[in-house]
Structure 1
């Protein structure tokens, strides 16, 4: 009996050892799956996708961080709430200064840089002009302003009248600052840094249409996005590109427009002419390591138009895809850097 028992014990022990080893090994198998959540932000929506592993925080913790940060952005930059920092600054009279956090100073500095580079085609103090044309908070809808209304708006504009003195943001005239054309990109970049600080290293973040992707999805698959072709009533892919560490922003007038006496008028205003843009550029998409710059540059190039915009993109090494409206449809043209980096990834439709 003792010999049989020992033999049985000898047979059972390896089986138990193998079973225990398999169980322990299973505990350390790396889990990889894409988690996704979304919500409202900046008068639009946001979406976050990230690769969850055994070492990443729970999705609830990631979402809480994202929504808390976006609430901070809204409190600082919103032009739709009277208690935001920007709204409080805009209510100040000429010759006033206001202490601002680093985030507002940083975005303002970027906006002033783009304004200077484009000779005012990008204008962070455009808010009075938007109001004159019936756009923005409290407006009653698009309208054609009078000569006096345009003159009054112009008197309260000018990026040259805005300055920073240490932590102070100052205005020489009673201007109003509007950073909506750049702040979403900034917020996405900041969210990327915060995600990585939490241990989330692979993600795609989108807010108000701007987005950025970092790393690879499970099974080493890249993040792929479709650059949309300009159609009024449907969404059609112009080209599909892969992203890793790149932000994307698109500006276009193919949906944001109104008609007056049969004439199509864009919601995008040219601060230099004080009128809606009047050219054949239907949309422009910018891809850049900085989503903040991609956001601002897409607006800047949209204002400049197909010829000036292309020249600007070429001179400043910007990867941009221009889609121009023609009598027979739409034509696409990539800047030299866009052609070098992205044209080979897919056939433009």
Structure 2
């Protein structure tokens, strides 16, 4: 990972599955396509927007976006010891702390997703990630012994958290990690700020999570290529036009280790305390809320190719599945995804 001043956001979220197709051969009239970006959250961000006559200059827009990124870092990063959530994580059992409204919102979102997945999705798996070597305090990627795993699981579980007014409290020494929803939440914050600035057409992307609104200066839509992973290269499988939706992909394809001939992913099932082992390699969710797209893509990945599929169908979630088989990766789209693409003219 790398980051350059003034950015210190290191939530270590990396989603390599989406490719934005937004190149223009030119622009019409007085409208122009502006672009900027940089390092953030251990990865990168990029903003593209249509600048209308009389609209805000790029320097102003960039300043507003960077202010959001700095705020998210100060509140949500588990890679800096003085962030709001890091200070909460340092509290012992039965501790409480006044936290920003953003943290309370994300904890409530995590609680709902945890309930919907019967506890498989959980914001408090950081001790498990550290134990297996994937977290910010992880030392070595290896399979822990049974005693170690049992001890750490005592400090995992959303049920140990509760909100008391403006305070977040815990009855066990749990640690909260927002990696699975922070980028989507940040994209929504940026999108709202762009709209407030009078920008009505843009594509905002943070670590691969994105939201697109409106159209490019030539009238063409913002387009996203959904990819299926391969060992040697990435291959675009489906091109989708996006307007008014957030897009998020979660996958276990690159962040894993192998031991004893078995593959261990960085995505954890909180019920088992272990990485997922099923054949779902990646899943993309398209949703009006990028926050929800982010969380739901992780939830579906944890549930797997069968349970995740059933969940997406039951809750009418537009989802694109990449499933690992013995011979190759195969893709599958559900009914909500197909309806969305049909409505977009695909």
TM over 0.5: yes
Deviation digits for residues 89-123 of structure 1 (CA, Å, limit 9, x no counterpart): 00001111111111111111111110111111110
Partner of 2:224: 225
Shift of 1:141: 3.2
Deviation digits for residues 55-94 of structure 1 (CA, Å, limit 9, x no counterpart): 2211011111111110000100001000000000000011
Work out whether 1:338 is the aligned partner of 2:337. yes
Partner of 2:6: none
Partner of 1:136: 135
Partner of 1:282: 281
Partner of 1:200: 199
Work out whether 1:157 is the aligned partner of 2:156. yes
Partner of 1:7: none
Q: Secondary structure of the residue that 1:296 maps to in structure 2?
A: helix
**2:133 and 2:140 in contact (8 A); partners too:** yes
Q: Secondary structure of the residue that 2:128 maps to in structure 1?
A: helix
Partner of 2:165: 166
Separation of aligned partners in 2, 1:323 and 1:32: 38
Deviation digits for residues 262-319 of structure 1 (CA, Å, limit 9, x no counterpart): 3222121211111111111111000000000000011110010000000000111100
Shift of 1:345: 6.4
Moved more, 140-149 or 180-189: 140-149
Q: Does the C-alpha gap of structure 1 residues 88 and 158 become closer, same or farther in structure 2, counting only changes over 3 Å?
A: same
**2:128 and 2:273 in contact (8 A); partners too:** yes
Moved more, 142-151 or 64-73: 142-151
Separation of aligned partners in 2, 1:30 and 1:313: 43
Name the structure, 1 or 2, with higher relative contact order (CA <8 Å, separation 6+).
2
Shift of 1:233: 3.3
Runs of 4+ in 1 over 3 A off after TM superposition: 343-347
Shift of 1:256: 1.6
Separation of aligned partners in 2, 1:80 and 1:181: 15
Shift of 1:146: 1.5
**Bigger CA radius of gyration:** 1
Partner of 1:32: 31
Separation of aligned partners in 2, 1:138 and 1:188: 27
**1:241 and 1:346 in contact (8 A); partners too:** no
Partner of 2:266: 267
Partner of 1:308: 307
Q: Secondary structure of the residue that 2:102 maps to in structure 1?
A: helix
Separation of aligned partners in 2, 1:343 and 1:151: 48
Work out whether 1:327 is the aligned partner of 2:332. no
From the two aligned structures, give the one with the greater helix fraction: 1
Q: Secondary structure of the residue that 2:138 maps to in structure 1?
A: coil
Partner of 1:4: none
**1:33 and 1:53 in contact (8 A); partners too:** yes
Give the count of matched residue pairs. Answer: 319
Q: Secondary structure of the residue that 1:218 maps to in structure 2?
A: coil
Shift of 1:208: 1.1
Separation of aligned partners in 2, 1:345 and 1:52: 24
Moved more, 318-327 or 308-317: 318-327
TM, length-normalised to structure 1: 0.88
Unaligned segments of structure 2, at least 5 residues: 1-27
The alignment yields a C-alpha RMSD, in angstroms, of 1.5
Partner of 1:68: 67
Shift of 1:54: 1.3
Work out whether 1:114 is the aligned partner of 2:113. yes
Partner of 1:56: 55
